[in-house]
Amino acid sequence: MDQTRLRATPYPDGDGQAIRSPGWREIDDTTDTESVWQATGYKEAWQATLEYWLESGVEFRSGSRLEFYTPPPRSRVGPVVAERGFSPAVPPLTTVRDRPSMAVEAAAVATPSPVQPPPLSTEGRDAPLPAPIPVAERPAVLATLAEAVSTCEQCILAKTRTKGVFGVGAPDASIVFVGEGPGAEEDRQGEPFVGPAGILLDNMLRAIALQRSQVFIANVVKCRPPANRNPHTDEIAACQGYLFRQLEIIHPKIIFCLGKFALLCLTGYTDTVSQARGQSFFWRGIPVIASYHPAYYLRTPSRKRAAWEDLIRLLKRWQTMEGCSPSPDLVIPQKNV
C-alpha cells in the first residue's frame, strides 16, 4: 500500500461487480489468499483502515470487492484514463488527497455553514445625550433597568447565565469603567469585576486615590459568555442598548474602556487596543479612553506599566474637566503597578 496517488470510486456499473482493469489487483474471498475482511478488519477498524489509506496515498476502488491500483508503464499515446483501462463513459476518479478526509467531509455535510452575524449597530453612538436625570432619581431608574437585565432573553447568553450582571457603583459617577463581560465569579455573584481581574482593578483605582464606590463599573454584555469566550457581535448588539441607557442615566464625564470589545461597542473602533491607546474617542460627546482589560495584565505582568500610563491619562483628563490643575506629581513611575 505504498502507491503515490490516491483515488476512490464506487464500481462504475452500479451493481457491485468489479470491472477488471489493467493495473488493478483484486482482493476478495476467492481470488486472493488474504480476504477483504482480513485485509481491512470491520466496523471501527474499517473506518480507521480507510483513513490510513487516504492519508498514505493508496489508490483503491470499493464495493463487494476491493481493487488496489498498481500503475502500469506510462504510454506515450492516449490519456492517462485510457492507460488505466477505464471506460470513456466513466468520469475521471476524484483525487481524495485534494479533498478533506472522509470524516471531515462528512462533518461538513452534516453541519451547516455558520451564519455571519449582523454588523454591530451604530445607532445611538452619536445621538445627543438626553437631559440629565436628577441625581436623587437615578438609583430608582437604574434599579428598573437592572430588573430588565435580570429577565432579558434577547440573546443566547441568557440560557447559560446564573445571574445577569448589571453593574455597580455611584449613580452620579464622573467616571464609568466598561469591561467586556462577566466571568465565572461575576456570574455567580451578579456583580462585575469580583474575580482576580476585579482585585487588580481595585488596586488600579487605589493607585489614583479612587475607590469602587466613587466610580461606576459595567460590562458590554450582562451575561457570562460560556467558558469566558469573547462576546459575539450579535450578543454585543443585544446588550448595547442596556449599556447606552446606563450611560445616559449616569451622565459621566469620562468613559474608561477596559479592552477592545468595550471600545468596539462604544465607538466602533475595530483595530487593536495597542493602536487605540492615546487616541481621542468620544461617545455622544463624552471622552472615551482606551486601555487594556485587567485580565490582560494578569496574563502579561510585564505590561502593567501601560495600565499606569492610561490611569494617569485618565486622572489628568478628569482633573482638567473638574477645573483643577493636574497634580505635578502625576508621573510615570519606573516600577509596575
Q: Do 175 and 86 reside in the same domain of the chain?
A: no
Tell me what pLDDT residue 34 has: 44
Judge whether 183 lies within some domain. yes
The pLDDT, as a whole number, for residue 252 is: 96
Give yes or no: residues 178 and 304 share one domain: yes
User: 161 and 252 in one domain?
Assistant: yes
pLDDT in tens, 87-97: 444 444 444 34
Judgement on whether residues 186 and 106 belong to the same structural domain of the protein = no
Pick the more confident residue, 49 or 137. Answer: 137
Which of 254, 192, 200, 197 minimizes the C-alpha distance to 219?
192
Radius of gyration of the CA atoms of the chain, in A: 32
Q: What is the pLDDT of residue 27?
A: 44
259 vs 5, more confident? 259
What pLDDT band is residue 198 in, cutting at 50, 70 and 90? very high
- Same domain (yes/no): 51, 151: no
User: Is 64 found in the same domain as 149?
Assistant: no
336, three cell numbers: 509596575
Whether 330 is covered by a domain: the verdict is no
- Is 2 within the bounds of a domain? no
Asked if the structure places residue 187 within a domain, the reply is: yes
pLDDT tens digit sequence for 183-195: 999 999 999 999 8
Candidates 6, 21, 96; CA nearest to 59 is: 6
In this structure, the answer to whether residues 59 and 173 fall within a common structural domain is no
Q: What is the mean pLDDT of residues 148-177?
A: 95
What percent of the chain has a predicted confidence (pLDDT) above 70?
59
Determine, yes or no, domain membership for 76. Answer: yes
Residue 225: inside a domain: yes
Residues 82 and 196 in one domain: no
The end-to-end CA distance of the chain, in Å, is 63
Residue 288 inside a domain? The answer is yes
Given this model, what pLDDT does residue 105 score?
38
For residue 332, the model assigns a pLDDT of 43
Work out the burial of residue 157: count CB atoms within 10 Å of its CB; fewer than 13 is exposed, 13-18 middle, 19 or more buried. buried
Instruction: State whether 243 and 197 are in the same domain.
Output: yes
pLDDT of residue 31: 42
Q: Are residues 143 and 286 in the same domain?
A: yes
Least confident of 110-124, 159-173, 277-291: 110-124
Distances (CA, A) of 47 to 9, 53, 72, 103, 151: 16, 10, 29, 9, 48
Phi/psi of residue 286, nearest 5 degrees: -90, 130
In a domain, 4, yes or no: no
Over the stretch 2-47, which tens digit does the pLDDT of each residue have?
A: 333 333 334 343 443 433 444 544 444 444 434 444 544 444 555 6
How confident is the model at residue 323, as a pLDDT? Answer: 72
Domain identity same for 160 and 66: no
pLDDT score at 59? 64
Strand partners, 27: 66
Amino acid 321: pLDDT: 86
What residue numbers bound the domain in which 198 lies? 136-321
pLDDT of 85 above 80: no
Q: Does residue 141 sit in the same domain as residue 287?
A: yes
Looking at the structure of the chain, the number of domains it has is: 2
The CATH number covering residue 208 comes to 3.40.470.10
